[in-house]
């Protein structure tokens, strides 16, 4: 078609812009002289001139924060508040239920009045996540391919697009050998063709007929159909084929932090299949645990298993009135946070105390609750776990996580996270470092009575690792042990936690469950507590009765957890072993035959009550066991007693102890004192070895309630003295604090929080920060005066955040943010709830409600100039400059509203920026 002259064109065609956006933008970026020349060339091209503005320098955007600070004194108070607030429609507060692994959450026993600290811990562990979504912020899901690492292969999954011209050429390969020419189509300017190919309408196949084209459809249905059509075959990632953004440049997208959850290391599934010896005359019992030879530490609790036949189980029926389903497990799930080639799986076997085949049944009925060490076998896990592969992968990931320098050592959190990823695949999955294997052991080492301690075991394992000389020095016993070791799948049916809680999914028709075995990591694990756990482990180690009477030879120890001094006060809180009740009131240690100074390797696992008192204590009763039956004689001969109070100055006692042993009945109120410092009695107590320590034990606690740190213990105790009715003076560790000294001591404890050990501080991080934020926004009443801890609390939060951020043992995300703090802000942080934060310290007073009184806007400048003075002065001192104004409406509204209405106000979330 011929090009029309400009005079004959339609009016709207003359107004069409013929210049590209790039040419227009060039006019604003070129120097003045060059821009003027370019504008002249455009105007002389024969087309209507484009009127462009003169060149000007680009204006920098206004620095909002700088402008606000420079005009802070002249701005209207209400306007300044509106400028500082987040918009109402930008925030969306969502309460998300926590994901619970078990069928029911882990909770203390019912019907017990809990201490304030225990109540706060449980509330922290079971309450919902509070997540604040910003509607106008870019979604971090855009970086989904960056997390999964599948961006480079994504183009392979896209369907190949086939056009009509290509389909015609494929269907008629011989019809036309050369390129098909098209009629030339020109634009209105006549500058040239718009396309370079020809097509023939008659040769094209018609499009598919549109069904119901003329059918009348309502507007709602029509919009719904269009929406469904738009979502059909839509790609999940819009910019999936776009090159990856450099991590240093992608600051505008903040990834969602990992949700806090219970720590689980590399999980190993161990199934016991067979355990037998050449001579089978009595029941045998197996226990399995993991040991690290290099660290010389036991890194798991014991797993007890019973592989006896029904005939041998019948021998012990008189001593096992009930058998819980949880005690019949033959497979265990071990957890290893720090894999190493020095980790051994040690299988120990115990037998009944008598070995006469013809009298086995009668002896089991008489001595069925006593056992003896028999044999043990080590199994190295280095052949199953490719530790070098994990170490190499951790080294490769170092530059990515936290931007560590080349000389900075690898963080423990990174290695833990990587090892979890390496072993989180399904059993026999691709890339797993474990190999499913059935292992057979045909030789055991005899457990010698004078070398049963863990120190002796580590020496044996070290010799066993270096050479086979151990087999020549220690007597071997032929036998057969068959077990299967594999990677634990992510989901295990019918599994129990270390507290015997069923894990989802848990079918009811299965009778033999799996058991998760609690790990004792060789190093710190910096993961905050998220579930209630309150366990105590007691390890009797050594008893020295060498100077005792000759009757003390076959010695066993009965261990009980008592809530009083009467015989009926033994609590059923001791975990049972195999083929027995789930919980027991007493357990007995294994007996070393004819040994007056025996070593013990027993592990007694106790479920601690949520509320402990001064009456709770561990009671140890020592007996001599008569193997030969005597007419009219008792099997047990009492040798003595010892005890250990659970609380010392209202704090849980843990560690190693060497206790004296009383040879006679204990006096009344003995449990109120430690065995080493019991006062003089009338008549005096008769002690073994003149009241010297002869019984060595070790006590360890794995608890998400007891902090086991002096600084945290003091801080929590003083905080709860403000929140509940207490009687002064209160005892905190080894000091008594009066009401007048409470404010000073609490400020000192707030300042000293950052001096806590890093591991307990991280374990209780959520509760610590919650308490500090509560003290920041809510003044308290002490002895009738208002005490404001906000400055000290805020400085403590800053110090803790700085300590965690600078720690080399904690990981950071790609933007350099500490993962623990980012996770707390995203999921945990919320404003204190007024109904729970009523200060009740001291006697009731007639002072008007001061909880919502804070410094007004007009006096804020005066108060800020007195910060240094406030450090050494009581904030309740009436001489402090700056008068209390009327109740601040902002704080009053926040404290009187529910947390669920926070979506209507962003004030409470300003604290988010402290960690961002």
Least confident of 22-26, 216-220, 405-409: 405-409
For 313: left if phi > 0, alpha if psi spans -120 to 50, otherwise beta; the answer is alpha
Reported as type and span, the H/E element at residue 331 is strand 331-336
Q: Class of 266-387+434-517 per CATH?
A: mainly beta
pLDDT higher than 80, residue 195: no
Q: What is the pLDDT of residue 656?
A: 96
What pLDDT score does 504 carry? 92
The pLDDT assigned to 86 comes to 67
**Dihedral sign, CA of 764, 765, 768, 770?**
negative
Which token pair is 669? 């109120």
Q: How many CB atoms lie within 10 A of CB 382?
A: 14
From residue 338, give the alpha-carbon distance in Å to each of 38, 141, 752: 68, 31, 31
Q: Is 750 exposed, middle or buried (0-12, 13-18, 19+ CB in 10 A)?
A: buried
pLDDT tier at 365, thresholds 50, 70, 90 = low
In whole numbers, what is the pLDDT of the chain averaged over residues? 76
The 3-state DSSP class for residue 212 equals coil
d(CA 48, CA 44): 9
- Both tokens of 845, joined, read 């007073």
Q: What are phi and psi of 120, to 5 degrees?
A: -65, -40
Q: How confident is residue 888, by pLDDT bands cut at 50, 70 and 90?
A: very low
Listed range (158-172, 357-371, 681-695) with the worst mean pLDDT? 158-172
Pick the more confident residue, 519 or 421: 519
Least confident of 388-402, 490-504, 734-748, 764-778: 388-402
Helix, strand and coil in the chain, % to nearest 5: 30, 20, 50
pLDDT digits (tens, 9 = 90+) for 266-313: 999 999 999 988 777 778 889 999 999 999 999 999 999 988 888 777
455 pLDDT above the threshold of 70 = yes
* 534-703 and 266-387+434-517 share a CATH fold: yes
If you average pLDDT over residues 648-659, what whole number do you get?
94
DSSP state of 637: E
Report how far residue 575's alpha carbon sits from residue 302's, in angstroms, rounded to the nearest whole number. 11
What is the spatial distance between Cα 36 and Cα 55, in angstroms, rounded to a whole number? 9
- Per mean pLDDT, which range of 403-412, 452-461, 643-652, 678-687 is the poorest? 403-412
User: Could you give the CA distance from residue 714 to residue 710 in angstroms, rounded to a whole number?
Assistant: 6
- Helix locations, 629-674, DSSP H: none
Does pLDDT of 123 surpass 90?
Answer: yes
* DSSP summary character for residue 827: I
SS3 809: coil
Whether the Cβ atoms of residue 253 and residue 142 lie closer than 8 Å to each other:
yes
Q: What is the mean pLDDT of residues 590-618?
A: 93
Name, of 113-127, 419-433, 725-739, the range with top average pLDDT.
Answer: 113-127
DSSP string computed for 732-745: ETTEEE-STTHHHH
Selected residue with higher pLDDT from 831 and 378? 378
**Section 545-572 average pLDDT:** 88
Query: What 3-state class would DSSP assign to 577?
Result: coil
The region that residue 521 occupies, defined by phi over 0 for left and psi between -120 and 50 for alpha, beta otherwise, is beta
User: End-to-end alpha-carbon separation of the chain, Å?
Assistant: 64
What does the pLDDT read at residue 390? 45
Lowest-confidence pick of 229-238, 248-257, 418-427, 568-577: 418-427
What is the pLDDT averaged over residues 447-467?
85
pLDDT of residue 743: 92
User: Which of 189-193, 221-225, 242-246, 414-418 has the least mean pLDDT?
Assistant: 414-418
Using alpha carbons only, what angle is made at residue 19 by residues 14 and 20, rounded to the nearest 5 degrees? 140
Determine what percent of the chain is predicted with pLDDT higher than 70.
Answer: 68
**Cβ-based neighbour number of residue 160 at 10 Å:** 4
Q: How many CA atoms lie within 13 A of 871 on its CB side?
A: 8
Distance from C-alpha of 255 to C-alpha of 141, rounded to nearest angstrom: 8
To which residue do tokens 């809530």 refer? 563
Kindly list the domain boundaries of the chain, sorted by start residue. 91-106+114-134, 266-387+434-517, 534-703, 710-828
CB of 796 within 8 A of CB of 863?
Answer: no
Q: Helix or strand or coil: residue 276?
A: strand
Q: Would you state the pLDDT for residue 141?
A: 47
Higher pLDDT, 727 or 432: 727
Surface-to-core class of residue 174, CB atoms within 10 Å of its CB (0-12 exposed, 13-18 middle, 19+ buried): exposed
Q: Are 569 and 733 in contact (CB under 8 A)?
A: no
What is the reported pLDDT for 13? 56
**Residue among 716, 719, 711, 704 nearest 837 (CA):** 719
Cα 546 to Cα 454, 551, 553, 555, distances in angstroms: 21, 11, 9, 12
Q: Is the pLDDT of residue 510 over 70?
A: yes
Q: What percent of the chain has pLDDT over 90?
A: 39
Tokens of 507: 């079918």
The torsion angles phi and psi of 41, rounded to 5 degrees, stand at: -65, -35
**CB distance 401 to 811 below 8 Å:** yes
Rounded to two decimals, what is the model's pTM?
A: 0.73
**Signed CA dihedral, 314, 320, 323, 326: sign only:** negative
Q: Output the pLDDT for position 5.
A: 56
Is 765's pLDDT higher than 80?
Answer: yes
User: Alpha-carbon distance 409 to 448, whole Å?
Assistant: 43
Phi first, then psi: give them for residue 83, nearest 5 degrees: -70, -30
Lowest-confidence range among 308-317, 520-529, 811-820?
A: 308-317
Task: Measure the CA–CA gap between 699 and 573, rounded to whole angstroms.
Answer: 16
H helices then E strands: how many in the chain? Answer: 24, 30
Query: Where is pLDDT greater, at 449 or 615?
Result: 615
- Residue 423 pLDDT grade (very low, low, confident, very high; cuts 50, 70, 90): very low
Identify the CATH class of 534-703.
mainly beta
Q: How many residues does the chain have?
A: 916
User: What pLDDT digit, counting tens, does each position of 303-335 carry?
Assistant: 999 888 887 777 777 777 788 999 999 999 999
Spatial distance between the Cα atoms of 695 and 673, rounded to a whole number of angstroms? 17
Q: How confident is the model at residue 780 (pLDDT cuts 50, 70, 90)?
A: confident
More confident residue, 241 or 837: 241
List, edge to edge, every strand of the sheet that includes 617-625: 587-588, 555-562, 617-625, 636-645
């Amino acid at each position: 078609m011929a090009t029309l002259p400009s005079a004959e064109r339609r009016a709207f065609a003359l107004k069409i812009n013929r210049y590209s956006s790039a040419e227009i933008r060039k006019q604003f970026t070129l120097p003045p002289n060059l821009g003027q020349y370019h504008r002249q060339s455009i105007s002389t091209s024969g087309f209507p001139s484009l009127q462009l503005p003169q060149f000007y320098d680009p204006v920098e955007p206004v620095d909002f924060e700088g402008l606000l600070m420079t005009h802070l004194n002249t701005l209207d108070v209400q306007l300044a508040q509106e400028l500082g607030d987040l918009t109402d429609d930008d925030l969306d507060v969502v309460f998300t239920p926590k994901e619970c692994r078990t069928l029911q959450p882990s909770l203390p026993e019912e019907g017990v009045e809990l201490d304030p600290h225990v109540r706060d811990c449980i509330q922290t562990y079971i309450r919902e996540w509070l997540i604040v979504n910003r509607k106008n912020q870019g979604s971090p899901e855009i970086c989904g391919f960056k997390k999964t690492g599948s961006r480079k292969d994504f183009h392979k999954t896209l369907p190949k697009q086939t056009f009509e011209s290509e389909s015609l050429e494929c269907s008629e390969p011989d019809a036309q050998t050369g390129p098909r020419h098209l009629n030339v189509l020109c634009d209105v300017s006549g500058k040239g063709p718009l396309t370079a190919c020809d097509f023939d309408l008659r040769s094209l196949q018609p499009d598919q007929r549109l069904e119901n084209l003329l059918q009348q459809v309502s507007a709602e249905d029509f919009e719904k159909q269009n929406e469904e059509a738009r979502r059909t075959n839509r790609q999940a990632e819009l910019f999936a084929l776009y090159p990856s953004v450099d991590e240093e440049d992608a600051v505008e997208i903040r990834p969602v932090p990992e949700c806090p959850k219970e720590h689980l290391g590399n999980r190993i599934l161990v199934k016991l299949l067979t355990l037998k010896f050449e001579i089978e005359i009595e029941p045998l019992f197996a226990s399995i645990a993991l040991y690290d030879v290099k660290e010389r530490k036991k890194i798991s609790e014991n797993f007890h298993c019973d592989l006896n036949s029904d005939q041998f189980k019948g021998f012990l029926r008189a001593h096992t009135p009930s058998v819980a389903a949880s005690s019949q497990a033959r497979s265990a799930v071990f957890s290893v946070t720090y894999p190493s080639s020095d980790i051994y799986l040690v299988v120990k076997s115990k037998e009944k105390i008598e070995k006469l085949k013809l009298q086995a049944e009668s002896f089991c009925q008489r001595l069925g609750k006593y056992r003896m060490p028999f044999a043990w076998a080590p199994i190295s896990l280095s052949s199953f776990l490719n530790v070098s592969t994990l170490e190499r992968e951790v080294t490769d990931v170092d530059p990515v996580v936290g931007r560590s320098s080349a000389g900075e050592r690898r963080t423990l959190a990174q290695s833990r996270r990587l090892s979890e990823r390496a072993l989180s695949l399904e059993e026999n999955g691709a890339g797993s470092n474990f190999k499913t294997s059935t292992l057979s052991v045909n030789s055991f080492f005899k457990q010698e009575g004078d070398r049963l301690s863990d120190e002796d075991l580590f020496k044996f394992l070290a010799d066993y690792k270096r050479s086979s000389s151990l087999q020549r020095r220690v007597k071997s016993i032929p036998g057969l042990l068959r077990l299967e070791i594999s990677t634990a799948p992510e989901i295990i049916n019918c599994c129990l936690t270390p507290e015997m809680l069923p894990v989802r999914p848990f079918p009811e028709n299965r009778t033999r469950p799996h058991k998760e075995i609690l790990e004792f990591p060789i190093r710190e694990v910096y993961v905050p507590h998220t579930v209630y756990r309150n366990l105590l482990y007691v390890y009797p180690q050594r008893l020295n009765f060498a100077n005792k009477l000759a009757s003390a030879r076959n010695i066993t120890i009965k261990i009980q957890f008592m809530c009083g001094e009467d015989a009926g006060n033994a609590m059923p809180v001791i975990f049972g072993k195999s083929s027995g009740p789930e919980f027991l009131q007493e357990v007995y240690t294994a007996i070393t035959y004819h040994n007056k100074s025996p070593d013990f390797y027993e592990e007694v696992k106790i479920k601690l009550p949520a509320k402990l008192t001064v009456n709770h204590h561990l009671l140890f009763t020592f007996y001599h066991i008569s193997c030969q039956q005597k007419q009219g004689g008792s099997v047990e001969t009492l040798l003595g007693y010892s005890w250990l109070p659970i609380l010392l100055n209202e704090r849980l006692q843990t560690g190693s102890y060497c206790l004296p042993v009383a040879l006679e009945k204990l006096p009344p109120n003995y449990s109120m004192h430690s065995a080493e410092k019991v006062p003089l009695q009338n008549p005096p107590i008769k002690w073994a070895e003149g009241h010297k320590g002869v019984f060595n034990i070790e006590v360890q606690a794995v608890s998400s309630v007891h902090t086991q740190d002096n600084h945290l213990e003091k801080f929590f105790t003083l905080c709860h003295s403000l929140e509940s009715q207490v009687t002064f003076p209160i005892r905190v560790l080894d000091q008594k604090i009066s009401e007048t000294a409470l404010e000073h001591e609490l400020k000192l404890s707030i300042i000293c929080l950052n001096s806590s050990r890093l591991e307990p501080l991280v374990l209780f991080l959520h509760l610590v920060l919650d308490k500090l934020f509560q003290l920041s926004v809510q003044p308290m009443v002490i002895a009738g005066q208002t005490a404001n801890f906000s400055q000290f609390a805020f400085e403590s939060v800053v110090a803790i955040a700085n300590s965690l951020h600078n720690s080399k043992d904690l990981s950071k995300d790609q933007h350099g943010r500490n993962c623990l703090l980012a996770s707390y802000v995203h999921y945990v942080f919320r404003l204190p709830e007024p109904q729970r934060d009523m200060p009740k310290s001291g006697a009731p007073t007639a002072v008007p409600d001061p909880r919502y009184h804070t410094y007004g806007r007009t006096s804020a400048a005066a108060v800020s100039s007195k910060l240094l003075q406030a450090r050494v002065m009581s904030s309740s001192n009436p001489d402090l400059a700056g008068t209390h104004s009327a109740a601040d409406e902002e704080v009053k509204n926040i404290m009187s509203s529910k947390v669920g209405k926070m979506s209507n106000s962003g004030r409470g979330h300003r604290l988010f920026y402290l960690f961002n």
